Structure 1
Amino acid sequence: MRRRTRRSVTARSRINWAGRKRRQERRAIPKRSRAALPSIYRAGEGKLADAAYQAGLLAGGKADAEEGEGEGDVLLYESPLQRAFSDWCAAHVKKRPDIRTMIRLSKSYTGGYAKASGRKDTRIPLPLARTAAAVVCASNEQDTLGKVLQQLERLPFQEVIVVLNGCRDQSYTAARNHRIASILHVPGRLGHDVGRSMGAAMTSADIVLFTDGDVVISAEELAPFIYKVDEGIDAALNDLNPYLPPYMHQDEVTRCKSFLNRNLQPVIMCRTKGKWREADRLVGFCLLLHRDVLHRIGYLDEGYRIGNYEDDDWIIRLRLTGRKLFIAGDSFIHHFGSVSMKQLGQQFESVHHHNESYYTNKWDNPYAWVTNMKEGALARFPGLRSGHDFYPSHVLVRDQSGLVYFLLNGRKYALSGGAGQVGTEAVLLSRLDIRQIPDGEYSLTSEQIREMLDSAAMDESLSAGEAGAGQLVEGPGGRVYQWSRGTLRPFASLHTLERWHMALRKRSVWPLERLNSVPEGDLIIAPPHLDNPVL
């Protein structure tokens, strides 16, 4: 790789500024040349890039002598190049630079490494504190899937899960040609939400990147996502708004999303050094998040068919917990909108109508709930929430294996003797969600649970402004709440009551004055619908 040095830049400047004094020529850089220069040559960073190149030469020569020709068969994550560059950064880069500077350092180091080893190398090692994995969903993407995986191989991913979602072409063969790929084949086309959930369940990495197999994204454009989330950002998505066609030329799905993005004014004017902006709502096919966030929020809701609205749903759930979203403004990824959805043909209208209805029935007014949480419960009781904090109390839940628990005030209690005598149906949750719920100190019998449920169904309150534990309360407008430790927790919708099998439970009707005398607690939302028996 040819290095751009101070000497070559100055020489070019002398040609462009001919006729001026020699001293001025050495100092001055014409505006066009200055704009073309990478920022790494500012504030002495050019010396660090030179040092990275020289260090790469030494490391490459040493690795070539020790490893021979085996370097090319090793994934970047476990390669000598990744280890050597991470060690060099720890020793010589005192302050974590922005991603563009880091990429230039990485390429300088790799350039020296490649020259010493005598092999071409375009990989981009990054000094990450956490492990990273990618989940690629593909549906008949044989022409582009291999190119997508080629770019992912250039980054330090621990693994790449390829979910072949109802493929009928040669996508499997394209994926098998790449050593980094672990392949999960789903015979039927289940949609983006199921594929991503299954892929996330297969990896143990701290950071998970979700992308599609129909769009080839360069490693240089993906690196900012990994780098920023490694710093501590909860979730990062791509921003396509500046690159969309005029409103009148957009397809229906893109038009609806553009309308919401513009009218809800999602972007908060808070620009970071790396052009990252906090946002209230983002929709994109490429997003990156911490595994810890996935554990705390849960999987995508599989009640949505194939695609659309499932990402909106997951983002609402994330924002309710008090976490933040960011636009990766320094990364541009072009997405040919609705390519997969257009393959549905005449089925598109029915799928879109189902998803729209499911979303509306589930959330009622989702952005109002986010605002209420931010200004209400999160303000009164600060702290990040988890997905299970939005589950009700006094309900039975079960996992796919049939294990049943009783949820009581944010904890799960194992049942001794089975749930057959309780008289209420258990709600199916993923194993991931159930593991996140803290365990109770003891187990409960079906008689004890039945007694608590009967007590929660009492009409009479204990005293003014108070109710029995777990009691349902209905206000004048029909909104239903659950009494929980001195607060009234609202149900997001009638759908939420039905999903928790609580729609037929007895309710105590309160006047508005009494409702207003009690602080509002955390929202109660519907659990994600599960079709996948693996989760």
Structure 2
Amino acid sequence: MKASSPRTRRASARPPASRRARARGRGKTRTATVAKRFEEGFGEGYREGVQAGLHSFATGFEGTSIVIPTYNQLDMLRQCIASIMDNTDLPYEIIVVDNASTDGTASYLQMLGGQVRYRTLEANKGFSGAVNVGLMMAKGSTIVLLNNDTVVAERWLDNLLACLNSDPRIGMVGPVTNYISGEQQIEVPYADIRDMPAFAREFNRSNPALWRRTDRLVGFCVLFRRELFRQVGYFDEGFELGNFEDDDFCIRVRMLGRSLVIARDTFIHHYGSVSMKALGDRFMLVNDRNQHYFLDKWLNPYEWIHRILQLTDESGRSGYDMAALFPSGVAVKGLGATVYWIDGGVRRPVEGVLSIPIARLSMVDIQRWPAAEPISAVEAERRWLATEGPNREPQGLVRLPGGAIFLIRGRTARRVISPSALEGWHLHEKPFREIEPEELAEFEEGLPVIAPPQLRQAL
């Protein structure tokens, strides 16, 4: 028999076209099956991850959350984070909240991977807004708010924690530095940042004799317990970009009977107001607006701090939170659709649609009131409109001839401290009754009503 040519042999070795088509079809089917299984597995894993995250979201750890708000200062942020990693031995987490920087900050944070937790905001929400996001993310039993233009040194956190933990009555602690306003600034021997670590190494020796109580801590670096955050709440986002929001927070801390302490045995370097200086001519406009907002909110805050502490001492009251300085007889709402009627120290879900104004609060604020049985919208509105009690005595909002406003519930009269407090709870929309000082004197003086912090994001 004649042997086949090489070409013939090669041709006959190939499967028929129909078989090749079927093979390609099976290959595509296998690929599609694998892709489908991958998508199903990925989706299932993602759902499990989300559920695990939800279950562990509120789980904290015995350590410190270091919250750093930042905006367009990448080089400063690098130095700050590097100094924390080099000089912090105790358990901690770093949380960076980026106020929509345009200088590559987001890429840098992504490159750090799991070394930091971070969130990049879609717009600049200012210092308060960024801090509030960080507070919402924080899981530590203690929290540090730290400016991005700082460089920490050896034993910085150890010393601050030693001071904070020395007395449960201490609310917040702050270090000293080379550049700041007020009591926390000290003279330093170095002119070059490279010489700072040697100076700080000798300076940062724990010494309780150097701890000093103060009326004010500047927010470039403050340490407090997570418990304090739950009692005081979020920063007020009514302060635009920056300035005075830390003064506002300090006042609220002191109104709860907690003290502020400067740890004069602890030094960190502060370049100083870098983000605010970048505002240029706009800085004074922002500063003036925030100052006016602060004064409208508090009028004379130190007078109110003194009076609150007097009243709580006289009554023997302790361990209270901001809910004690918020009003009764108001409607409030948090993240969800539920509206609550606040009265008698509890929150009652309102059933039905309310036509009265509703104040917006964070969930941290709302959850301070214990939950109670629902109330109908009709009954809540009736109570909102009431100006007399069962025996025709004044109830609700009353005004003295001189203009002072009081909120009366039962036999207690509480001064509404400012127009901002009146408007923040929509009390200016509530009916009121004019009374004389002699009539008001029949009521017991209660704790004053302060304004709620403004929120411009979901918290």
Normalising by structure 1, we get a TM-score of 0.65
State the distance in 2 between where 1:306 and 1:504 align: 30
Structure 1 match to 2:115:
180
1:473 equivalent to 2:398? Answer yes
Aligned 8 A contact 1:321 1:387 in 2: yes
Counterpart residue type for residue 144 of structure 1:
M
Q: What per-residue deviation string (whole Å, max 9, x for no partner) do you get for residues 453-489 of structure 1?
A: 23x323x8837xx533xx1121232111111342211
Question: Which of 453, 462, 466 is matched with 2:391 structurally?
Answer: 462
Question: Which of 72, 78, 82 is matched with 1:140 structurally?
Answer: 72
Q: CA deviation at 1:179?
A: 3.6
Q: CA deviation at 1:504?
A: 2.8
Aligned 8 A contact 1:323 1:384 in 2: no
Matches for 1:128-167 after TM superposition, within 5 Å: 130-153=62-85, 154-167=88-101
State the distance in 1 between where 2:70 and 2:249 align: 20
Structure 1 match to 2:136:
201
Aligned 8 A contact 1:480 1:490 in 2: yes
Matches for 1:31-42 after TM superposition, within 5 Å: none
Q: CA deviation at 1:243?
A: 6.7
The structure carrying a bigger strand percent of its residues is 2
Q: What per-residue deviation string (whole Å, max 9, x for no partner) do you get for residues 44-75 of structure 1?
A: xxxxxxxxxxxxxxxxxxxxxxxxxxxxxxxx
Structure 1 match to 2:221:
286
Q: Output the aligned Cα RMSD.
A: 2.4
Q: For 2:101, what is the secondary structure of its paired residue?
A: coil
Q: What per-residue deviation string (whole Å, max 9, x for no partner) do you get for residues 477-530 of structure 1?
A: 211111134221111111111111110322222222333443321111111111
Question: Which of 233, 238, 245 is matched with 1:303 structurally?
Answer: 238
Q: What per-residue deviation string (whole Å, max 9, x for no partner) do you get for residues 204-224 of structure 1?
A: 221111101121111422321
State the distance in 1 between where 2:272 and 2:92 align: 29
Matches for 1:57-456 after TM superposition, within 5 Å: 130-153=62-85, 154-175=88-109, 176-177=111-112, 179-231=114-166, 232=168, 233-240=170-177, 241=182, 244=185, 273-416=208-351, 418=352, 420=353, 422-440=354-372, 442-454=373-385, 456=386
Q: CA deviation at 1:378?
A: 4.1
Aligned 8 A contact 1:155 1:219 in 2: no
Q: What per-residue deviation string (whole Å, max 9, x for no partner) do you get for residues 381-422 of structure 1?
A: 421321111111111101122221100122100122x3x2x3
Aligned 8 A contact 1:152 1:219 in 2: no
Q: What per-residue deviation string (whole Å, max 9, x for no partner) do you get for residues 56-109 of structure 1?
A: xxxxxxxxxxxxxxxxxxxxxxxxxxxxxxxxxxxxxxxxxxxxxxxxxxxxxx
Counterpart residue type for residue 293 of structure 2:
Y
Q: For 1:331, what is the secondary structure of its paired residue?
A: strand
Describe the shift of the 1:520–1:495 C-alpha distance in structure 2 as closer, same or farther (beyond 3 A).
same
Aligned 8 A contact 1:215 1:335 in 2: yes
Q: Give the number of equivalent residue pairs.
A: 372
Larger mean CA deviation between 513-522 and 159-168 belongs to: 513-522
**Structure 2 unmatched ranges of 5 or more:** 1-60, 188-206
State the distance in 2 between where 1:332 and 1:372 align: 34
Q: For 2:444, what is the secondary structure of its paired residue?
A: coil
Aligned 8 A contact 2:297 2:451 in 1: yes
Counterpart residue type for residue 135 of structure 1:
V
Q: For 1:457, what is the secondary structure of its paired residue?
A: coil
Describe the shift of the 1:136–1:155 C-alpha distance in structure 2 as closer, same or farther (beyond 3 A).
farther
State the distance in 2 between where 1:273 and 1:156 align: 20
State the distance in 2 between where 1:360 and 1:307 align: 16
State the distance in 1 between where 2:273 and 2:63 align: 31
Structure 2 match to 1:30:
none
State the distance in 1 between where 2:315 and 2:184 align: 40
State the distance in 1 between where 2:442 and 2:450 align: 23
Q: What per-residue deviation string (whole Å, max 9, x for no partner) do you get for residues 340-374 of structure 1?
A: 11111121122112111111111111111111111
Identity among equivalent positions (%) equals 29
Describe the shift of the 1:452–1:212 C-alpha distance in structure 2 as closer, same or farther (beyond 3 A).
same
Larger mean CA deviation between 292-301 and 488-497 belongs to: 488-497
Q: What per-residue deviation string (whole Å, max 9, x for no partner) do you get for residues 419-471 of structure 1?
A: x2x3202111111211222112x1111122122223x323x8837xx533xx1
Aligned 8 A contact 2:171 2:228 in 1: yes
Aligned 8 A contact 1:165 1:189 in 2: yes
Counterpart residue type for residue 462 of structure 1:
N
Q: What per-residue deviation string (whole Å, max 9, x for no partner) do you get for residues 101-124 of structure 1?
A: xxxxxxxxxxxxxxxxxxxxxxxx
Larger mean CA deviation between 509-518 and 404-413 belongs to: 509-518
Structure 2 match to 1:3:
none
Structure possessing the higher relative contact order (Cα contacts under 8 Å, 6 or more residues apart): 2
Counterpart residue type for residue 171 of structure 1:
T
Describe the shift of the 1:166–1:274 C-alpha distance in structure 2 as closer, same or farther (beyond 3 A).
farther
Larger radius of gyration: 2
Aligned 8 A contact 1:239 1:282 in 2: no
